[in-house]
Amino acid sequence: MSDSDGVGDLEALLREETRGEYVIERELGRGSGVLYDATEIGSRRRVAIKAVSHRSAHHRLRGVRLAARFNHHNIVPLYRIDASARLSWYAMPYVDGEPLAAKLEREARLSLGATIAILRQVGDALDYVHRCGIRWVPAPFERSRCDRRRVWVMKGDLPRCD
């Protein structure tokens, strides 16, 4: 996403709208929005905040609100969703780990046990979402992260309500 997409001042808007609640530390990446590393002031917990400019947020917000209802041990929960006339954003736990796709690429040959564990966790999350009546469109391996204990499927814009 480039500045011509209307996100040149996205960080400034996010800092303004979250002042007193979150400290925005740094940008983590860009995709369908901009992801920031932040600290929730009241709890002092580290979070990730995804911000999307208002003009591109409308069609994503419905899916994000649906995803906020998920309660599964392999799906990253959403702490807060907020939208204004200028910006939409949501806060979630910061997952300190690596993208699952990078792990699979780096470790070209996983053990059978590790492969089964990954497939079981991602499959269990997908099954949960499907049982909730949501069709999960993007490939979960591209939207997942691994920490030392588990695979975390990132919600983001994943649910599509077709």
pLDDT at 159 over 60: no
Give the pLDDT confidence of 27-41 residue by residue, as tens digits: 998 877 899 999 999
pLDDT reading at 3 higher than 80: no
Break the chain into its structural domains and give their ranges: 3-93, 98-160
What distance in Å separates the CA atoms of residue 136 and residue 52, rounded to the nearest whole number?
A: 21
For the record, the structure tokens of 1 come out as 């996403």
Q: What is the mean pLDDT of residues 16-33?
A: 92
What's the per-residue H, E or C state across the chain? CCHHHCCCCHHHHHHHHHCCCEEEEEEEEECCCEEEEEEECCCCEEEEEEEEEHHHHHHHHHHHHHHCCCCCCCECCCCEEEECCCEEEEEEECCCCEEHHHHHHHCCCCCHHHHHHHHHHHHHHHHHHHHCCCEECCCCCCCEEECCCCEEECCCCCEECC
Q: Does the domain made of 3-93 have the CATH classification 3.30.200.20?
A: yes
Residues 6 or more apart whose CB falls under 8 angstroms from that of 76 comprise 92, 93, 95, 152, 153, 154, 155
Please report, rounded to a whole number, the percentage of residues in the chain having pLDDT higher than 90.
42
What's the confidence (pLDDT) of residue 91?
A: 95
- What pTM, to 2 d.p., does this model score? 0.83
For residue range 48-74, list pLDDT tens digits in order.
Answer: 999 988 766 666 677 778 788 889 999
How close are the terminal C-alpha atoms of the chain, in Å? 26
**Which of 67, 16, 27, 69 minimizes the C-alpha distance to 49?**
27
Each residue's pLDDT tens digit, 97-135:
898 888 888 888 889 999 999 999 988 988 998 898 877
Q: What is the model's pLDDT at position 161?
A: 39
Handedness of CA 29, 80, 38, 45 (dihedral sign): negative
Q: Is residue 6 predicted with pLDDT exceeding 90?
A: no
Across all residues in the chain, what is the average pLDDT? Answer: 83
